[in-house]
Homo-oligomer: A and B are copies of this chain.
Amino acid sequence: METYSSQNEYLNAVTSRAVLPAGFQAGVTSLSFFPAEIDRAKEYKMNMALILLERPSPSFHALFTNNLFCGAPVIIGRQRLKEKLCRGIIINNKISNVAAPTGEADQEKVLATLGDTLKENPRSFLPASTGIIGWSLPVTEMCEKIPLLVSNMQKESLLPVARAMMTTDAYPKVRSVRCGDGVIVAAAKGAGMIEPNLATMLVFILTDLTVRRKQLATCLSQAAENTLNRISVDSDQSTSDMAIMLSSNMKPAIDRHTLLGALTEVLGKLAEDIVRNGEGVSHVIKATVTSAPTLELAKRAGKALINSPLVKTALFGNDPNVGRLVSALGDCFGSIGFRLPRRRLTLRLGGIEIFSQDRFQLDGETEVQLQAYLKECAYSLAGHFPPHNRSVEISIDLGTGKEEATVLGADLSYDYVKENASYRS
C-alpha cells in the first residue's frame, strides 16, 4: 500500500491529486449552532461544502444505501435522479438528518436557498449529510451561510471539500487518475475501523470526460461493486451512504472500457484509504477468495471472514488463531447450505499454507512465522503515513469454480470500542 514518510508529504500528494477537472468549482464554509435535541447551552460546529458545475450537466448518477431507515438526503437524492440536469452537490457534516421531525422539508429549504442564491432550479442540486442520527439540521444558520459559501467558490482544488466533510476521519482522502485529455478526481469521507456514525461513506467523483448519462451510471455501478462494496469494517450499512458522480463533459470522450478501468482504479484506492483511515485500526485485512462457484459466494465468504469478531480480535492480538478462520468460513457455508467438500478448501495466511486436505497444516515453526508476519503487518508509526503500509493477506481457495473476489476489512481493537462507546459525549 502507498505510504509517505510524513503527514506533510501525504498532504502534498493529496493536494496534487485534488486539482479540479475543467468546469468545476468547490468551496466550503462553517457555522455554529445550538442543537435543540440535547442541550441548547452547548455550541456545536458544522462545515458546509459545495461542489458546483459551471453549467448544469445531464451526465450524473448516484448510488445510495440500502438501509430502510435512510436519511432525508438519500430520499431526496433518489428523487433528484429523475431530473434532467444536475448543477452540483451541497454537503454538511455533524448531522446526518436521519428521521428528524421535519428532515426532508429542512433539507429542501437549504436547497431552495441555494437555488435562489445561484438563480438555479433547486431540483438540480443533490444533498449529502453525515453525522449524528436523529438530530435536526440547523436550517436557519445553514441558509444564512449560503451566500458566503457561494461567494467563496474556487476552481483549483477539491481538497477543502474533502476536509470539510470529515467527521472522525483522521485525514482527507482524495484520489485521481488522468485518462485521455481529462481527469477523474474523487474525494471520500468515511473512517475505517472507527465508524461511530455507522461508517457513513460519502464519495464524490468528478470528471471532465464526456460521457453519456446511461454509460456513466453503468460504469459507476460496476466500479463501485468491485471497490466500495468490497469493504466492510463493522458490517453495518449506514443510513446515509452515497456515491455521486458528475461530469462537466468538457473533454473528449474515451472508450467505455478505459473509463471503467480508470474509475475502478480511483474507487479502489479510495476504498483502501477508507479502511486504512481509522486510528483504531491495527491491522488492515485483505481476504481474497478464489476458485469459487459464484461471485456472490466469493464475496460472502470473504465478508464472513473480515466481519467475524473472533477473527478480528485474534488478528488485533497478533494471534494466528487459524481455527477461527476455518470456523468463520464453516459457519458461513453451513448457514447458507453450501456443501463444499471440506478437502477442497486451501487457506493461506501471508502466503503460508495453514489449512488443506481438511486438516490444519501447522507446527511450532509455522506458528512462530505467522506471529512474526502479523506483527510486521500491524500499525506502525515508524516512517509511514498513513500508518498502515501492509495488510494481512488471507487467501481462501475453494477449489470448486472460477469466480473470485477480494474484500478489505480491519481488526477489532480497544480503540474501536473506546471511540464507539463514547461517540456523542
A residues in contact (CB < 8 Å) with B: 37-39, 65-70, 98-101, 132-134, 195-196, 198, 234-239, 308-310, 313-314, 316-317, 319, 321-324, 326-331, 333-335, 338-340, 342, 355, 358-360, 362-364, 367, 412-414, 416-418, 420-425
Which of A65, A100, A237, A327 has the most C-beta atoms of chain B within 10 angstroms of its own C-beta? A327
* CB-based contact A236/B37 at 8 Å: no
* CB-based contact A65/B334 at 8 Å: yes
Q: Are A421 and B319 CB-contacts (below 8 A) given A236-B309, A237-B335? A: yes
Q: Which of B70, B327, B422 contacts A67 (CB 8 A)?
A: B327
Chain B residue contacts of A314, Cβ below 8 A: 420-421, 423
- Chain A interface main SS type: loop
* CB-based contact B68/A333 at 8 Å: yes
Compute how far the CA of A331 lies from the CA of B65 in the bound complex, rounded to whole angstroms. 9
Compute how far the CA of A413 lies from the CA of B253 in the bound complex, rounded to whole angstroms. 53
Compute how far the CA of A72 lies from the CA of B236 in the bound complex, rounded to whole angstroms. 34
Compute how far the CA of A143 lies from the CA of B336 in the bound complex, rounded to whole angstroms. 38
A-B contact pairs, 7 of them (CB 8 A): A68-B338, A68-B342, A69-B326, A99-B323, A99-B360, A235-B308, A321-B424
* CB-based contact A309/B309 at 8 Å: yes
Compute how far the CA of A363 lies from the CA of B101 in the bound complex, rounded to whole angstroms. 12
Chain B residue contacts of A421, Cβ below 8 A: 313-314, 316-317, 319
Say how far A27's CB is from chain B's closest CB, in angstroms.
Answer: 29
* CB-based contact A316/B417 at 8 Å: yes
Compute how far the CA of A330 lies from the CA of B237 in the bound complex, rounded to whole angstroms. 9
Starting from the known contacts A98-B327, A237-B331, A317-B422, 14 additional A-B residue pairs (CB-CB under 8 Å) come to: A66-B334, A67-B330, A70-B334, A99-B359, A235-B309, A236-B328, A237-B335, A313-B417, A316-B417, A317-B420, A317-B421, A319-B423, A321-B423, A414-B418
Compute how far the CA of A132 lies from the CA of B327 in the bound complex, rounded to whole angstroms. 12
Q: Are A422 and B319 CB-contacts (below 8 A) given A69-B342, A331-B237, A417-B412? A: yes
Chain B residue contacts of A321, Cβ below 8 A: 133, 423-424
* CB-based contact A309/B363 at 8 Å: no
3 smallest beta-carbon distances between A and B, as pairs = A133-B323, A317-B421, A69-B330
Chain B residue contacts of A67, Cβ below 8 A: 327, 330-331, 334
Say how far A193's CB is from chain B's closest CB, in angstroms.
Answer: 10
Compute how far the CA of A316 lies from the CA of B420 in the bound complex, rounded to whole angstroms. 9
Compute how far the CA of A132 lies from the CA of B316 in the bound complex, rounded to whole angstroms. 18
Chain B residue contacts of A69, Cβ below 8 A: 326-327, 329-330, 342
* CB-based contact B66/A425 at 8 Å: no
Say how far A158's CB is from chain B's closest CB, in angstroms.
Answer: 28
Q: Are A329 and B68 CB-contacts (below 8 A) given A309-B309, A323-B98? A: yes
